[in-house]
Each structure stands twice: as structure tokens, then as C-alpha cells.
């Protein structure tokens, strides 16, 4: 694991990243109280779309989906051909299928988002750190049973050495340079759909550019 938390090499790149989305299921949303549930839905869908737009391998996993429900449809729709790994373990890093899927990518920047923060996010974050990964977690695409539960989970993960960030910050970090033209259409489309006022402003900017070209 890299011990540096600063410098260029500490920044995330699409080529080094792998994303794991854990347990965004109806049962977990039913007792989500740290955030407005619709906001978490918006954010995790935006995160999933960003990963797809930057060709970042994404692993989907659920827990006892026969009771807790299937992965929410807006996330599954981003990866329609991918069947989530359905676990019994609260700690997804104790399921060899999840670990093997990450290992197959050959990537070392490991990013998690999950419900709930204090359990199904915290456990694999702390566990995977010991396996030599640079571990990050997306706080606003995750949530807990209370604000305190979410915050205590975040603190515990930071103390263990993981790095918190938000989904728009992550997408921006993957983009990093507006000269990288290939991914700008995806960033623009995702921002319009999921980034609130940023998307509104971007639409306005695009309209001005279109008007300028037509004059």
C-alpha cells in the first residue's frame, strides 16, 4: 500500500481505479437516516455512470437479496448485463468472489460505496487495507442508520488509513484535465442528470455555445 497521502501519485486515475458498490438495496434504504435517501440514490447512480464513462471496472454486490431485495434498478440499469454477487457476509471482503473480482482487475486504487456506512462499508474498507490496497470511500454515495452512525464509521475508516471523498470530486479527479476530450461528453451528461446546479449551469453554457456557433 502506498504510504503517501500527498503528491501527484496520491490522486486517483481511471487506469488505476476499481469501484465496489455494496448493498444499495431496498432493505438498507428503509432504515437510512444519515442522508435523504433520494440523494443517495442520485449520487450512487451518478457514481456508477461516472465509473462506466471512464471505463473503471465496477463490482456490484448485494447481501441476502432474497430478503433484502435486489440492487436498485437505476444502478443495475447502468450495468444491465452484470449480475451482482449475492453474499451472506456483512463484510464483503470475507467473500472470496468479491476479492477475486477485484484482484482480476490488477488495480490498486480501491474505491467503495455502501449501505450502511457503519457496517457494510466500514468492514471491507478496514479489511482490504491490510491487503495492500490504497483504499478510498465515497461518503455521499453511502449512508448509515443515523448521522452519528455514518460519522462514526467515517472516523473509524479514516483512523485505519482510508481516504474519504465525494462522488463529484471523484469524477473530477478521474477527468483532471479538460484537454482529455474523450470523456468530456460523459462528464457533461452525468453532470446534467445528477449534479444539481452544476448541471443546470452546464446546460446554460452549452446553450450559449450553440447560440454562438449559430450566429
Q: Which residues are part of the catalytic machinery? A: 120
Map residue 17 onto helix, strand or coil: strand
The residue length of the chain stands at: 215
Within 8 A by CB and 6+ apart from 191, the residues are: 198, 199, 202
CA distance 64 to 66: 5
Tell me the DSSP string of 95-156: SHHHHHHHHHHT--EEEEEEB-IIIIIHHHHHHHHTTT-EEEEEGGG-B-SSHHHHHHHHHH
Three-state SS at 177: coil
CA distances 117 to 106, 114, 213, Å, are: 26, 6, 47
Amino acid at each position: 500500500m502506498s504510504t503517501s497521502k500527498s503528491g501527484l501519485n496520491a490522486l486517483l486515475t481511471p487506469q488505476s481505479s476499481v469501484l465496489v458498490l455494496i448493498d444499495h438495496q431496498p432493505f438498507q434504504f428503509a432504515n437510512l437516516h444519515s442522508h435523504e435517501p433520494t440523494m443517495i440514490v442520485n449520487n450512487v447512480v451518478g457514481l456508477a455512470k461516472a465509473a462506466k464513462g471512464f471505463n473503471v471496472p465496477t463490482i456490484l454486490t448485494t447481501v441476502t437479496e432474497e430478503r433484502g431485495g435486489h440492487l436498485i434498478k437505476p444502478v443495475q440499469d447502468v450495468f444491465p448485463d452484470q449480475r451482482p454477487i449475492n453474499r451472506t457476509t456483512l463484510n464483503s471482503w470475507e467473500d472470496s468472489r468479491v476479492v477475486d473480482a477485484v484482484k482480476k482487475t490488477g488495480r490498486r486504487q480501491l474505491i467503495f460505496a455502501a449501505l450502511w456506512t457503519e457496517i457494510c462499508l466500514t468492514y471491507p474498507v478496514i479489511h482490504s487495507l491490510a491487503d495492500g490496497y490504497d483504499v478510498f470511500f465515497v461518503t455521499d454515495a453511502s449512508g448509515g442508520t443515523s448521522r452519528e452512525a455514518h460519522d462514526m464509521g467515517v472516523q473509524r475508516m479514516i483512523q485505519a488509513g482510508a481516504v474519504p471523498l465525494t462522488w463529484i470530486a471523484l469524477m473530477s479527479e478521474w477527468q483532471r484535465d479538460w484537454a482529455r476530450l474523450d470523456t468530456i461528453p460523459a462528464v457533461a451528461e452525468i453532470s446534467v442528470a445528477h449534479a444539481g446546479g452544476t448541471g443546470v449551469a452546464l446546460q446554460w453554457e452549452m446553450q450559449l455555445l450553440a447560440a454562438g456557433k449559430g450566429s
